[in-house]
Amino acid sequence: MKIPFRKYHGCGNDFIIVQEKEIYPELLQDLIVQSCDRHTGIGADGFIVVRKEPLEMLYYNQDGSRAPMCGNGIRCFSQFCIDEGIVHKKEFVVTTLAGDKIIRVLDDQTFQVNMSKPEFDDLSLTGTSKRIWDDLYTIEDRHYRLHTLFQSTIHTVVFVDELNEEWMRKDGKIICEDPMFSLQTNVNFVQCIDPTHIQMQTYERGCGMTLACGTGACASVVCAYQLGKCKDSVEVLLPKGRLKIHIDTNGDVYMTGNAQCIAKGEYVYETN
């Protein structure tokens, strides 16, 4: 079976994108796992299905699990829709499990997305039994303060003095899979550089360490702003790019960044 696809990345966070008409729902999970494999498939952090009328983004992690939203993914989704002639407007709405998102096309391959307001207290969204804010969490001799919220999906933000790849990978997995998070959590390790710049990397549930996480960037800036560590407009520095995050006077969070198509073709899918 040959499936037409495009592959995009946003700040190094990469996705396979296909139209809904090209897939069989009963084979979708296996297709996702096979195609996202970086050795035997196309390779990607996530898999996106484009549903039309109304326009909807169906987002899946590389292990086949569904996620409410993806910040870098929705920019790549938007560029796909432009490239495929699905949308022609400079502003349009995309339906997601985390609600409708307003997309604004700023220029070639650059988008601003209204990521909505964060939610701190709805435990049904965070999947926890209590509010987690500035809670001490110890792994061996390392002490973290956890800040959990729902910013289009579940995030836990941890502020650190430096980004250590070994510790982030190991400790991110431990925090992500801690039983206190019944739905698991994305874990963002954040280093504040100055009031208008932060560095961060994310351990994503259903994926592991990634080069970028758009919703995680939003969640990190929200937490830093709440704690007085940054201003309301911040540039987030990532290993493969930058995102601009702004919190308006109503508390809505806006993300601005690019999306780039890096491959187009047919994936040869063989059922197990």
Averages of pLDDT over each 10 residues, the chain, 272 residues: 96 97 94 97 97 96 95 98 96 96 93 96 95 97 97 97 95 98 97 98 95 97 98 97 97 97 96 76
Residue 156 annotated as binding site: no
The predicted pLDDT at position 107 comes to 85
The predicted pLDDT at position 271 comes to 83
Q: What fold characterizes domain 2-116+258-268? A: Diaminopimelate Epimerase; Chain A, domain 1 (3.10.310)
What predicted TM-score, i.e. pTM, was given to this entire model? 0.94
Q: Which residues are catalytic?
A: 70, 213
Residue 188 annotated as binding site: no
82 C-beta neighbours (distance < 10 Å), count: 18
The predicted pLDDT at position 254 comes to 98
Do 123-250 and 2-116+258-268 fall under one CATH topology?
Answer: yes
Pick the CATH number of 123-250 from 3.40.718.10, 3.10.310.10, 3.30.360.10, 3.40.50.720: 3.10.310.10
Q: Which residue has the tokens 């040869």?
A: 268
Residue 72 annotated as binding site: yes
Residue 63 CB contacts under 8 Å (≥ 6 apart), including other chains: 32, 33, 206, 207
165, two tokens: 């790849």
Phi (first) and psi of residue 20, to 5 degrees: -60, -35
The predicted pLDDT at position 111 comes to 98
158 within 8 A of 168, measured Cβ to Cβ: no
The predicted pLDDT at position 247 comes to 98
Residue 215 annotated as binding site: yes
The predicted pLDDT at position 88 comes to 95
Residue 258 annotated as binding site: no
- The backbone region for 252, taken as left when phi is positive above 0, alpha when psi lies in -120 to 50, beta otherwise, is beta
